[in-house]
Structure 1
């Protein structure tokens, strides 16, 4: 029986959506150490969101879980809800940014933390023993971090909720915040209709800034984007690229991106809610192709049940 089950896995022609079992949300996509990685939120009531899992694959079709790569019990200041992770590699270390505690004012402890590990699967440990960003600036709730390293080595952390988005510049140590050339530390980059869940990619010299719109618990959650020649904007909203499909799923949003290195092949990883589901926390992680038009604009994503076909990191480059 074991052999036949293994054969069935190997003969899977597409990933299928959702990618893996369980309730997960807010996925970040990365390529680390010759594998595709997805880092999601464990989707549950806040008091149960006490850990992070991750998933890795060599072909986008078969995924393996790395369990509890970071746990609340190892973060002294976190007490309620971990979510929205975003890791990056620099100098052989892995830096993992996350939101904790869902603070509602500057009087509470919480916000965006940073953990560090020697390997993509952790275990991660709290790097500074306190939030990296623990206060409100320009009206942005300190949640939903997304880290981006530009071609010149500059590292940026985009984040925000409550309809406001900021960017900060990370120092080379990746665990402290620097200042911009104009002296600002927290720079507001809020585009029209921004709600939360920022994401940045660079392609052919253009910066594509994406974010989630609508309420995360409802059917109208979606993703929109802007395009700029600077990582600091301005970001003028172009339009939606991912939203509910009455034939497939609702609540599609808060995404990450995967690029096959050395190619112009892109995949969007995102969460959505099954059509028959009413529980706001019932979110599952899915993947579909993302295409650019000849003029560089992003073609709206078609959500599927099939997902994507097998794609090795080492073929076709």
Structure 2
């Protein structure tokens, strides 16, 4: 190789540009869990939980990428200084863009009863990287209904434009209809506000997406600090179910990592390309909070069922959006 080509190669290497065509796993350094993935403005975004003891979970970071390979960190997009009622355990963000604003749903304080301060709140910003401010000045939801702890919220926009919030810990999952400005809930036709849709094996981490006329519901099973944490799923004709458990779709590989769970899903617009974003625990780690964010390709068989997903160190191929 001549000196000019060597110079060009070293320039590319030390400029910080990646010439790998694979994302690699984890996607970015640091202990991060419960990743919420989205696409905004021709960029991929991931909004995770900062994985640490509850008292240190007082802020959230975000990450963006043009191609799933190169990631930029956006630090401290939201913290407890901006949310006066939140003190710890800021968990599992869910993100929605609506009418030019970005609504970040999050849980805080890990409440254990209806007398405690905390629950599910909303922050809002004019751009996905924030900074975010408290939208309501109080939690959107601060009570238990049908036994579901108000954590692990996921916001789903149905094909008719209706937004639903699907949430719940303590092995119970509820679905509720959000009003137009996300300030309250709307009753269902029978007058109820919170409908339980808990499938067999459910523990936490609900996710819903729509594909080919069907509603896919994914959730996490097992204990979040243990090796058996995993993702299972069901399919129904309605966002209200009923959801009959089909089986496990993502789990540990004892040669790669353990505790693979709490996922989200990306669909490339106008395609049938799908990705699963999740967290897992490196084999070198025993601390429950030592979790990293990873990605794999997600595929479907001829019957529309999800093909079981193998966790990898390679991740996925680079996928620019434009």
Common fold by TM > 0.5:
yes
1:218 partnered with 2:223: no
1:28 partnered with 2:36: yes
Normalised by the size of structure 2, how large is the TM-score? Answer: 0.95
When structure 1 is superposed on structure 2, of 203-212 and 9-18 the one drifting more is 9-18
Q: What is the CA deviation profile of residues 43-72 of structure 1, one whole-angstrom value per residue up to 9, with x for unaligned ones?
A: 001111110001111101111111111111
For residue 5 of structure 1, report the CA deviation from its aligned partner.
3.4
| Partner Cα separation in structure 1 for residue 130 and residue 13 of structure 2 | 29
| Partner Cα separation in structure 2 for residue 243 and residue 136 of structure 1 | 29
Name structure 2 gaps, 5 residues minimum. 1-6
Partner residue in 1 for 2:138: 130
For residue 10 of structure 1, report the CA deviation from its aligned partner.
2.8
How do 1:284-299 and structure 2 match up within 5 A? 284-299=292-307
Q: What is the CA deviation profile of residues 16-54 of structure 1, one whole-angstrom value per residue up to 9, with x for unaligned ones?
A: 000000000000110111111111000001111110001
How do 1:164-175 and structure 2 match up within 5 A? 164-175=172-183
Normalised by the size of structure 1, how large is the TM-score? Answer: 0.97
When structure 1 is superposed on structure 2, of 191-200 and 6-15 the one drifting more is 6-15
1:148 partnered with 2:156: yes
How do 1:164-313 and structure 2 match up within 5 A? 164-313=172-321
Partner residue in 1 for 2:4: none
Aligned residues: 314
For residue 151 of structure 1, report the CA deviation from its aligned partner.
1.2
For residue 79 of structure 1, report the CA deviation from its aligned partner.
1.0
Partner residue in 1 for 2:13: 5
For residue 4 of structure 1, report the CA deviation from its aligned partner.
4.3
Query: Higher Cα Rg: structure 1 or 2?
Result: 2
Corresponding residue SS for 2:145: coil
Partner residue in 2 for 1:70: 78
How do 1:10-159 and structure 2 match up within 5 A? 10-159=18-167
| Partner Cα separation in structure 2 for residue 140 and residue 149 of structure 1 | 21
| Partner Cα separation in structure 2 for residue 170 and residue 124 of structure 1 | 20
When structure 1 is superposed on structure 2, of 12-21 and 175-184 the one drifting more is 175-184
Corresponding residue SS for 1:136: coil
For residue 6 of structure 1, report the CA deviation from its aligned partner.
4.4
Corresponding residue SS for 1:114: strand
Q: Is the 8 A contact 1:114 1:175 kept in 2?
A: no
Name structure 1 gaps, 5 residues minimum. none
Q: What is the CA deviation profile of residues 172-192 of structure 1, one whole-angstrom value per residue up to 9, with x for unaligned ones?
A: 102321111221101111001
Corresponding residue SS for 1:29: strand
| Partner Cα separation in structure 2 for residue 221 and residue 36 of structure 1 | 26
Distance change >3 Å, CA 190–CA 15, structure 1 → 2: same
| Partner Cα separation in structure 2 for residue 199 and residue 207 of structure 1 | 10
Q: What is the CA deviation profile of residues 189-245 of structure 1, one whole-angstrom value per residue up to 9, with x for unaligned ones?
A: 100110000000100110000000000000000000010010111111100000010
Q: What is the CA deviation profile of residues 96-152 of structure 1, one whole-angstrom value per residue up to 9, with x for unaligned ones?
A: 110100001111011100111111111111111111110000000000000010111
Corresponding residue SS for 2:11: helix
